[in-house]
A and B are shown apart, each in its own frame.
Chain A
Amino acid sequence: MIFTLRYIQYKEYTVPSEQIPKAIRLEEFYRRLTATPPASDFESAFKLIESTLNEVEDELTEIPFDPSQWQLDGRLYPPQADAETALPDWPSVRRFRVRRHHTNIAANGAIEIATVTGSIEWSKPGNDGKGVWET
């Protein structure tokens, strides 16, 4: 596979794209999610997470999008539909698993990204102002 190296302006630095660490790309993903207007339902919230993370990875890395296999390529991938897990006590919330995180999305468009041990990394209410667990 042949790659083309791009240089990217990130904050005050001009750096080769593959040198931007995952933690910085994640920070940019959360920054963009925060800046976006809240979602109004589950579908728009799920698409917002998907499109925002894909956009960040397309801009800040050279790694082609290929979620169908093992995702060993170093790219960050949004939750996939086949990784939805059960949340029986919360019928208005759907949960998706990635390696060490759960993404919880409510019917009102509220989003919460938490570690599997329960520590909340990022959250945003839906457009009715209610959080994931207030629905």
Chain B
Amino acid sequence: MNLIEELLETLRGQFTDLRVMMDPPLNAAGVWWADLNLNGHPATVEWRPSLGFGVSSSDDSVFGQGSDEVYPDVESASRRLYALLMGRERTQPPTEIALAKLRKVKSMSQEDLAERLQVKQAAISRLENRPDSRISTIRATIEALGGELELRARFPDGVYTLEQPEIQNPRRKTAPSQGK
């Protein structure tokens, strides 16, 4: 029994009404698929032997779109699928955007943003090219762009929104130059 068969076996043990359609590849080292349906609620599992499991549960995926979520092993994938099927939940495609791109989407130049944060334009440039930044810096920048920063942690059993402590330090206005 390979890992996707093990995963499906686990789910069949948890849901007696689960309908499963396996779509195996011609070459066993290729990509395996399984379509699940529990009382009308669908989920799709993708298994890449070298990478792990992709999990999706949404009706609006278009041709060529990848899986919404990925899990490294049978245990984490089966926990997530259990939650999706039991709670009739839907997955969402991942969305990521770089800070520089977000600023441009909001039609703001580096100079505009620097003025709002009361820092020099060069500090914004450094921030946008920096591989790692303080959360307080990112939060100040997002607020200057007109948004609100949310921090979320994703676990196999769900997604948690993290509390953000109130920053007492008034250096928030100069945050983009921190960590030089």
Interface, chain A (partner B; CB < 8 A): 1-3, 5, 16, 18-19, 22-23, 26, 29, 53, 62, 69-74, 76-78, 80, 82-86, 97-101, 113, 116, 121
Q: Known: A83-B25, A84-B30. Is A101-B101 also a contact (CB below 8 A)?
A: no
Complexed CA–CA distance, A16 and B33 (Å): 35
Judge whether B25 and A82 touch: CB under 8 Å. Answer: yes
Judge whether A71 and B62 touch: CB under 8 Å. Answer: no
Select B105's contact among A18, A23, A77, beta carbons within 8 Å. Answer: A18
Q: Tell me how many residues of B have a C-beta within 8 Å of chain A.
A: 37
| CB-defined contacts of B24 to chain A, threshold 8 Å | 85-86
Q: Known: A18-B101, A76-B64. Is A99-B23 also a contact (CB below 8 A)?
A: no
A-B complex: 7 closest residue pairs judged by Cβ atoms: A71-B66, A76-B64, A82-B30, A5-B104, A83-B31, A3-B101, A26-B62
Q: Known: A2-B128, A5-B104, A86-B26. Is A98-B94 also a contact (CB below 8 A)?
A: no
From A115, which residue of chain B is reached at the shortest CB distance?
B63
B29 within 8 A of A: yes
0 or 1 for each of B78-117: is its CB under 8 Å from A? (1 = yes): 0000000000000001111110110011000000000000
Judge whether B101 and A99 touch: CB under 8 Å. Answer: no
Q: Tell me how many residue pairs across A and B have CB atoms closer than 8 Å.
A: 102
From B49, which residue of chain A is reached at the shortest CB distance?
A82
Nearest Cβ distance between residue B98 and chain A, in whole angstroms?
Answer: 5
Judge whether B64 and A26 touch: CB under 8 Å. Answer: yes
Nearest Cβ distance between residue B140 and chain A, in whole angstroms?
Answer: 21
Judge whether B105 and A16 touch: CB under 8 Å. Answer: yes
B14 within 8 A of A: no
Offer 6 A-B interface pairs, CB within 8 angstroms, sorted by A.
A53-B64, A74-B94, A80-B31, A83-B33, A99-B44, A101-B64
Q: Known: A74-B95, A82-B30. Is A5-B66 also a contact (CB below 8 A)?
A: no
0 or 1 for each of B137-167: is its CB under 8 Å from A? (1 = yes): 0000000000000000000000000000000
